Amino acid sequence: MSTLSLAVRDSSTMLRRNLLHARRYPSLTLNLLLTPVMLLLLFVYIFGDVMSAGIGGEGADRATYIAYIVPGLLMLTIGSTVIGTAVSVSNDMTEGIIARFRTMAIHRGSVLVGHVVGSVLQSVLSVVLVGAVAVAIGFRSVDATPLEWLAAFGLLVLFSAALTWIAVGMGLISPNAEAASNNALPMILLPMLSSAFIPVETMPGWFRPIAEYQPFTPAIETLRGLLLGSEIGHNGWLALGWSVGLVVLGYFWATAKFAQDPR
């Protein structure tokens, strides 16, 4: 069997294993899904009046703010899901079965690829669920063409792949589930410090560059542009650059960590 077909075959076996775990024990996934949904409802129904007045000025209503925060919350959903990835990778590494995999004639990277693909699928599913809640409370896209929908979908997948590879690396360096959950905390903190809830322009001047160029803001702004027709500008390239960069970085980091002798 060629290296590639071995890699594909073993990775899909590992993917099946991870999906089986997720299906058997959906509580972790559901817990992580709760965060974005709660935040959505909190910001819309509790803080909604102040927030919409803050961003829209005259004539802004709740619908304006819903439209504003949904793209950010979809990205936050991905961040929240990959915390689960870091935890489950870290948990998995303490299992004896991983030692067994390491002594079998299988493709080495397949264990990680299985986690990554499984996690990306979960992210997409979570995004769809949170999106459905958003639509239920009144979110509508503005004139998005099929091509823009496709691009938006592609962006969500690519961005979740980027965060997932980093999360896998975080899971590998964490000795236990608690540490993994702590190490992956930036995944949910960064979207709070992005343009997800309030525009970057309203932040203090010294903080603005940080908020503007961290991975989440360009991704959120690009998604906003695709779904709502706002200005994307250089954010499209920034989002693409961050995503591809993080995929490459995360891949090499995680595979190098996995190749080391286990503790």
Least distance (Å) between residue 110 CB and another protein: 9
Binding flag, residue 16, another protein (CB under 8 A): yes
Least distance (Å) between residue 15 CB and another protein: 11
Listed in sequence order, the residues at least 6 apart from 179 whose beta carbon sits closer than 8 Å to its beta carbon are 90
Binding flag, residue 142, another protein (CB under 8 A): no
Least distance (Å) between residue 254 CB and another protein: 19
Q: CA 157, 160, 163 angle in degrees (round to 5)?
A: 155
Pattern of binders to another protein over 93-132, x per CB under 8 A?
A: --xxx-xxxxxxxx--------------------------
Least distance (Å) between residue 25 CB and another protein: 6
Closer to another protein by Cβ: residue 73 or 112: 112
Least distance (Å) between residue 68 CB and another protein: 40
Q: How far apart are CA 135 and CA 44, in angstroms?
A: 13
Distant-in-sequence contacts of 140-145, Cβ < 8 A, 24+ apart: 140/67, 141/227, 141/228, 142/67, 142/227, 142/228, 142/229, 143/229, 144/226, 144/227, 144/228, 144/229
Least distance (Å) between residue 117 CB and another protein: 16
**Nearest alpha-carbon partner for 19 in 116, 90, 105, 164:** 116
CA 120, 125, 130, 134 dihedral sign is: positive
The residue count for binding another protein (CB under 8 A) is 23
Neighbours of 159 (CB within 10 A): 30
Binding flag, residue 149, another protein (CB under 8 A): no
Q: How far apart are CA 129 and CA 212, in angstroms?
A: 27
Binding flag, residue 27, another protein (CB under 8 A): no
Closer to another protein by Cβ: residue 109 or 191: 109
Closer to another protein by Cβ: residue 88 or 126: 88
Neighbours of 133 (CB within 10 A): 16
- DSSP-assigned letter for residue 215: T
Binding flag, residue 9, another protein (CB under 8 A): yes
Binding flag, residue 10, another protein (CB under 8 A): yes
Q: How far apart are CA 66 and CA 72, in angstroms?
A: 10
Closer to another protein by Cβ: residue 106 or 179: 106
Only segment of 14-22, 144-152, 179-187, 201-209 that touches another protein (CB under 8 A): 14-22
Pattern of binders to another protein over 220-239, x per CB under 8 A?
A: --------------------
Residue with tokens 């959903």: 77
Distant-in-sequence contacts of 260-263, Cβ < 8 A, 24+ apart: 262/93, 262/98, 262/99, 262/102, 263/175
Least distance (Å) between residue 97 CB and another protein: 5
Least distance (Å) between residue 100 CB and another protein: 4
Binding site for another protein (CB under 8 A): 1, 9-10, 13, 16-17, 20-21, 24-25, 95-97, 99-106, 261-262
